[in-house]
Amino acid sequence: MRILDVESLPIPAVKVVRFARFRDARGYFTETYRASDVAAHPDLKPLNGAHFVQFNESFSSRGVARGLHFQWNPNMGKLVRTVSGRMVDLFLDIRRGSPTLGKIAAYDMPASHAADHAEWIWVPPGFAHGNFFPEPSLIEYGCTGEYSQGCEAGISPLDVGLDWSLCDPTLRALWHESVASPRMLMTEKDRNGLTLAAWLADPRSENFVFETP
């Protein structure tokens, strides 16, 4: 895996990992993940030793929104990439004591088979995670905890109490455009998820506490 660069997003615990593709007349080859390369990279210390125990694939039609989901016991970090289409990833800080608690941000991840690189986004435990799709899209993600029914919850991305001040204005506008569209597809469970205030009033929110890097 040839890591080209690592970018810290407006909430620094969330990272984008860009890795090279090796192209020739036939197309390209790439290693999408190699643990030893991740461990050796100085900007990926939070991922050093991460053990991915479950990989998922998800296809979404145009206009779909998913999330914002999180899990404890075990906690679950996610390493996510767009295989085809366009994903806009959403991540909300729910770590008690965090300077960015309650802030949500987004990252645009369109797939291009013509590009000389591809990307992962790393969303660690302590974040409510979701995404929306302006076009039909296929994504893949690895999880550091197996799915644990009864130890999961979700915050509605429609919660008016979320702080979008760290979100890129163009992506925030695209989100609001998607919400207003008649094509918007979201489960009732996600639409009617908890508010951030309700989650922080829940004793289970103590499962996520900010740790100084």
The Cα–Cα gap between 65 and 158 comes to 11
Catalytic residue among 28, 129, 141, 147: 141
Is the distance from CB of 133 to CB of 62 less than 8 angstroms? yes
Is the distance from CB of 100 to CB of 93 less than 8 angstroms? yes
141 catalytic? Reply is: yes
Pairing of strands 104-110, 15-20: unpaired
Catalytic residue among 69, 117, 129, 147: 69
The Cα–Cα gap between 205 and 128 comes to 12
Query: Which helix or strand (DSSP H or E) is residue 103 part of?
Result: none
Distances (CA, A) of 8 to 43, 44, 90, 145, 169: 9, 10, 15, 23, 18
180: which 2 tokens? 């207003």
Nearest Cα to Cα of residue 144 among 210, 59, 211, 80? 80
147 catalytic? Reply is: no
The catalytic site residues sit at 69, 141
